[in-house]
Amino acid sequence: MNLKQLEYFVRVAEVGSFSKAAVLLDIAQPALSRQVRLLETDLHAVLLQRTGRGVVLTESGKRLFEHAVGILQLVTQAREDLEAGRDEPTGRIVIGLPPSMGRVLTLPLVQGFELHLPKARLAIVEGLSAHITEWIATGRVDIGLVLNPQSQEAIEVQPVFEEELCLVSPAEPEQRDGELEFLRLGAFPLVIPERTHAIRRVIENQAALSRIKLQIAWEVSGVPSMLDLVRSGHGHAILTRGAVLASGHSEAFGVRALTRPRLYSRLFLAISATKPSTPLMRHASQLLMELARHRGVGVDHINS
């Protein structure tokens, strides 16, 4: 029994056909069949049973399949670990992005990996910041961008950039952008994201500290929809100035920075505090931070 025979056996079992497996493995079907027969001879067991539609695993085959998959995975991990020891960015990495960041960063990330990390494999998942930090803590995601994360022992964060939060209102004749004290925010009906969103937590935490009651008129989590409601006179939103500029209709809104205190939407790079660093992790983190900082102005920070 050797690794090549195990690989051939697993692939045949996965696709349920010698002919399909031969195409995927780029090997002649008779040679593939011969290797599997040699494996069966060596183990003194029938592993695959032919049917009218292909092949299925026997009971012995099912037991070997579980072992074989684990063995092949360990071999892959060992190879990646040795390559990582040569400081070569190889292997697979999963990056988590908030939905708005996904729209902005997916293409440049893929292009960056093709150019700078050609031996690495990239997977991108999208989710709220709270979900991304949970995925990093459990190992589903390797690194991610998160907004205003809550402190967790299992997560290490590094600041990327920050933007001031502003009250966004319908534009009025001769209106100029200015500032608004946070204590006056209770006088405005708000179009605001749901409680799971990072900006909502920032606003409500400060409202509690300032002992003011917010008027929540509508709970809407998408920036375009929020701005449509504001422009139609259904309330006021709390967004970054960049989000308004990115809408392409900034002339339709008045934007006042919140003061005393000033509030910020802060973007962080998050990684596991317990997972060992690898060359791929370091290179991917650097690339992600550079892209996020370069494209930070105007990014929609609500889908977080």
For residue 129, the domain's CATH number is 3.40.190.10
Residue 295 confidence (pLDDT)? 64
CB 230 within 8 A of CB 236: yes
Pick the more confident residue, 298 or 211.
211
**Within-domain flag for 303:** no
The answer on 76 and 35 residing in a single domain is yes
Same domain, residue pair 133 and 279: yes
Q: Find the Cα–Cα–Cα–Cα dihedral 160, 163, 165, 169, rounded to 10°.
A: -130
Stretch 223-251: mean pLDDT, rounded? 85
Question: Do the Cβ atoms of 94 and 102 come closer than 8 Å?
Answer: no
Residue 53 banded pLDDT, cuts 50, 70, 90: confident
pLDDT band for position 86 (50/70/90)? low
302 assigned to some structural domain: no
On whether both 143 and 270 belong to a single domain, the answer is yes
User: Which amino acid is it at 179?
Assistant: E
For residue 38, being part of any structural domain is answered with yes
Average pLDDT rounded to a whole number, residues 43-54: 91
pLDDT higher than 60, residue 18: yes
Sign for the pseudo-dihedral over CA of 105, 292, 200, 189: negative
The pLDDT tens digits of the residues spanning 206-224 come to 999 989 999 999 998 778 8
Tell me: do 241 and 170 sit in the same domain. Answer: yes
**pLDDT on residue 299:** 41
Alpha carbons 140 and 132: distance in angstroms, whole number: 9
Which of the listed residues 32, 53, 85 is the one where a domain comes to its end?
85
pLDDT band at 266 (very low <50, low <70, confident <90, very high): confident
The answer to whether residue 301 is domain-embedded is no
**CATH number reported for the structural domain that contains residue 196 in this entry:** 3.40.190.290
Please indicate, yes or no, if residue 241 is contained in any of the structural domains.
yes
- The answer on 194 and 59 residing in a single domain is no
Cβ atoms 129, 147 nearer than 8 A: yes
Instruction: Look at residues 85, 108, 130 and tell me which one is the last residue of a structural domain.
Output: 85
Q: What is the pLDDT of residue 177?
A: 64
Residues 258 and 173 in one domain: yes
> What is the reported pLDDT for 58?
94
Count how many domains the chain has: 3
Task: Using a pLDDT cut of 90, give the percent of the chain over it.
Answer: 48
CATH of the domain at 38: 1.10.10.10
Residue 251 has pLDDT above 90, yes or no: no
Q: Which residues contact 171 (CB under 8 A, 6 or more apart)?
A: 251, 252, 253, 254
pLDDT band at residue 127 under the 50/70/90 scheme: confident
Residue 299 lies in a domain: no
Structure tokens at 40: 């069966």
If asked whether residues 253 and 273 sit together in one domain, one would say no
Residue 95 is part of which domain span? 91-159+266-294
Which of 112-121, 181-190, 247-256 shows the lowest per-residue confidence on average (mean pLDDT)? 247-256
Residue type at 107 in one-letter notation: L
Q: Would the pLDDT of 276 be above 70? A: yes
Which residues, in sequence order, are bridge partners of residue 236?
190
> Does some domain include residue 175?
yes
If asked whether residues 68 and 96 sit together in one domain, one would say: no
User: Is residue 177, in this structure, part of any structural domain at all?
Assistant: yes
Shared domain for 154 and 184, answered yes or no, is: no
In the structure, what pLDDT confidence band is assigned to residue 109 with cuts at 50, 70 and 90? Answer: very high
Co-location of 81 and 204 in the same domain: no
Which of residues 85, 104, 129 is at a domain's end? 85
pLDDT score of 298: 39
Q: Kindly state whether residues 75 and 214 are assigned to the same domain.
A: no
Residues 191, 248: one domain?
A: yes
The pLDDT tens digits for 147-158 are: 878 778 889 999
